[in-house]
């Protein structure tokens, strides 16, 4: 009986340790993580198994940015338009003081650059419904004025500059800036704030 227990014990150890291959190397069972067979989980006592359930993806909900308040829109508008207003006032001051052509050209380049920055910021901001139409109109006026400001900057004489300046002023004059300020509860435009 003891011999039988010893044989059963050796047999159990061999099964637990794995069987040896013909060349003497050990053979082991594949790891469950490396197995290509799908795993199954018991669904009920008694040995019945349920097939694995496929992983479900969670839907991603994209939301639009929250609506900007009128007060926040007013502050944003003043921030966006400040550089362009300052550039316009600096150009006007240089023209009124009859500064050199080179100075006027450089200031016109600054106006064109500020115009583009304002246009880009106006278009990329989600404005409250009460001013969204006016903001689109302001961006459109900026786009119409910009080529003329670039021509002002490239002018070779003050008389040529004056011709392009009239066109830039006419295009920019269609902007609804005063209406935007009123709708946002902002004070009227004052040159002193930008000079």
User: Which one, of 103, 85, 87, 83, lies nearest residue 95 by Cα?
Assistant: 103
pLDDT-derived band at 195 (thresholds 50, 70, 90) equals: confident
User: Tens digit of pLDDT for each residue in 142-192?
Assistant: 999 999 999 999 999 999 999 999 999 998 888 899 999 999 999 999 999
* Cα 116–chain centre separation: 18
Distances 110 to 11, 88, 165 between C-alpha atoms, Å: 91, 9, 14
| pTM greater than the 0.85 cutoff | no
Instruction: Decide if 77 contacts 122 (C-beta within 8 A).
Output: no
| pLDDT number for residue 22 | 47
Q: What is the mean pLDDT of residues 61-82?
A: 87
* Cα 61–chain centre separation: 17
Q: What is the mean pLDDT of residues 75-89?
A: 97
| pLDDT number for residue 11 | 36
Residues near 14 by beta carbon (within 8 Å), at least 6 away in sequence: none
| Least confident among 20-24, 91-95, 160-164 | 20-24
Give the whole-angstrom CA distance, residue 115 versus residue 175: 12
* Cα 139–chain centre separation: 19
């Amino acid at each position: 009986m003891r011999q039988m227990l010893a044989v059963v014990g050796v047999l159990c150890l061999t099964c637990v340790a794995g069987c040896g291959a013909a060349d003497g190397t050990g053979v082991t069972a594949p790891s469950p993580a490396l197995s290509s067979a799908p795993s199954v989980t018991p669904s009920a006592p008694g040995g019945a198994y349920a097939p694995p359930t496929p992983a479900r993806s969670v839907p991603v909900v994209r939301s639009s940015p929250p609506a900007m308040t009128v007060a926040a829109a007013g502050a944003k508008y003043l921030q966006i338009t400040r550089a362009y207003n300052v550039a316009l006032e600096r150009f006007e001051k240089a023209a009124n003081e009859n500064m050199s052509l080179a100075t006027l050209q450089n200031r016109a380049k600054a106006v064109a650059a500020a115009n583009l920055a304002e246009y880009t910021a106006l278009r990329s901001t989600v404005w409250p419904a009460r001013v969204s139409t006016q903001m689109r109109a302001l961006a459109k006026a900026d786009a119409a004025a910009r080529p003329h400001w670039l021509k002002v900057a490239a002018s070779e004489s003050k008389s040529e500059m004056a011709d392009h300046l009239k066109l830039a002023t006419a295009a920019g004059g269609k902007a609804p800036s005063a209406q935007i300020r009123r709708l946002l509860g902002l004070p009227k435009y004052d040159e002193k704030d930008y000079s």
